[in-house]
Amino acid sequence: MADSLCQLGRLFGQRQWCLGTSGNFSARLDDSQFLITQSGKDKSVLTPDDLMICDLNGIPRNSALRPSAETALHLALYRHDPGISAVLHTHSVCATLLSRTADSSVAFSGYEMQKAMTGVGSHEDTSVLPVFDNTQDMRALADQLHAYLVAETGTTCGFLVRGHGLYAWGRSLAEARRHLEGLEFLLSCRWQEKLAGML
């Protein structure tokens, strides 16, 4: 699992979705612990030594290591749904720009790429990506995320943090990757449509 997570981190890093040590990635190991990137690691050259194990209370197995500052958001997802196996977070230019112009959500309809999201069977469906305001208080943001997930109908697989970036998750690392890539594609389309005056 560590190698797969590093491979994905390097790929996303090389796509410039995680410049300047931004972004973070995690994968569930079992019912009580998960692997997560350490704080301040360059994702474009990620190795297993840059990962660490935390339990579902956020306590590192090795107390000398410091997990990502946004571990609370990963924890909120793993605690909310035991079926979530991986959580991926990127800071792409398009996701960051679009999140600054959006209201409380971004809705997509008419894009074939929406079908990258599990549960979306047609481009005619409407896919909603919630947007939360950024804060340095990750616990408060985690509480907001939890409240949203409890209230929604169960099809959400990602969210934006305003002026910050994108989170996506899945029931496997492969599904989380598909969701993240699909959402990044849709956000890039939407931003370029705005620039072209199509919206």
Q: How far is the CB of 4 from Zn ion (least distance, A)?
A: 21
Round to whole Å and give the CA distance between 9 and 166. Answer: 14
Half-sphere exposure (CA, 13 Å, Cβ side) for 163?
4
Round to whole Å and give the CA distance between 14 and 28. Answer: 24
Q: How far is the CB of 31 from Zn ion (least distance, A)?
A: 26
Name residues contacting Zn ion, limited to 6-65 (CB under 5 A): none
Contact partners, residue 156, CB within 8 Å, separation at least 6 = 128, 129, 130, 148, 149
Residue 155, phi-psi category: left (phi > 0), alpha (psi -120 to 50), beta (remainder):
alpha
Round to whole Å and give the CA distance between 102 and 66. Answer: 33
Q: Site map for Zn ion, 156-185, x if CB under 5 A?
A: ---------x--------------------
Q: How far is the CB of 96 from Zn ion (least distance, A)?
A: 10
Binding residue count for Zn ion, defined by CB under 5 A: 1
Name residues contacting Zn ion, limited to 99-158 (CB under 5 A): none
Closer CB to Zn ion, residue 158 or residue 165?
165
Closer CB to Zn ion, residue 67 or residue 165?
165
Closer CB to Zn ion, residue 72 or residue 116?
72
What residue is closest to Zn ion based on CB? 165
Closer CB to Zn ion, residue 13 or residue 165?
165
Q: How far is the CB of 89 from Zn ion (least distance, A)?
A: 5
Round to whole Å and give the CA distance between 183 and 178. Answer: 8
Closer CB to Zn ion, residue 108 or residue 167?
167
Q: How far is the CB of 133 from Zn ion (least distance, A)?
A: 14
Round to whole Å and give the CA distance between 56 and 75. Answer: 6
For the record, the structure tokens of 177 come out as 């990757």
Binding site for Zn ion (CB under 5 A): 165
